[in-house]
């Protein structure tokens, strides 16, 4: 899938923070496991573990950016690529994942 100005393949945590601060209409898809979300979470994110994404694809919007989140950006990159292959050109990987969010945006957030 091609990158477009509205839906880049990947964004950093500062881009996401700015969008959330402006209350832009963004869907946050957290593909980490439940135990990981127990440690840290970005407010209003929607939890679907990576292994469940294919069976729950109908729960995802096609009309707004889907920012895919994991711990460091690896799983989320895989899910982003898979979603784009399924026609979700609005899927965007969060570079650095929750670790980058905790070190650059919410420094009080727990990491693991």
> Which token pair is 45?
């994110």
Q: How many CB atoms lie within 10 A of CB 78?
A: 16
Name the nearest CA neighbour of 44 among 21, 63, 76.
21
Catalytic positions = 70
Task: Give CA–CA dist 85/110, Å, rounded.
Answer: 33
**Residue 64 to residues 7, 19, 39: CA-CA distances in angstroms?**
9, 12, 27
**Residue 86 to residues 67, 82, 91: CA-CA distances in angstroms?**
16, 6, 10
């Amino acid at each position: 899938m091609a990158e477009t100005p509205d839906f880049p393949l990947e964004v950093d945590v500062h881009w996401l923070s700015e969008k959330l601060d402006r209350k832009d209409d963004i869907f946050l898809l957290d593909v980490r496991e439940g135990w990981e979300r127990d440690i840290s979470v970005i407010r209003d994110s929607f939890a679907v573990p990576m292994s469940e994404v294919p069976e729950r694809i109908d729960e995802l919007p096609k009309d707004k950016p889907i920012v895919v989140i994991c711990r460091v950006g690896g799983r989320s990159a895989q899910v982003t690529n898979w979603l784009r292959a399924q026609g979700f050109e609005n899927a965007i990987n969060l570079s650095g994942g929750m670790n980058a969010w905790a070190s650059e945006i919410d420094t009080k957030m727990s990491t693991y």
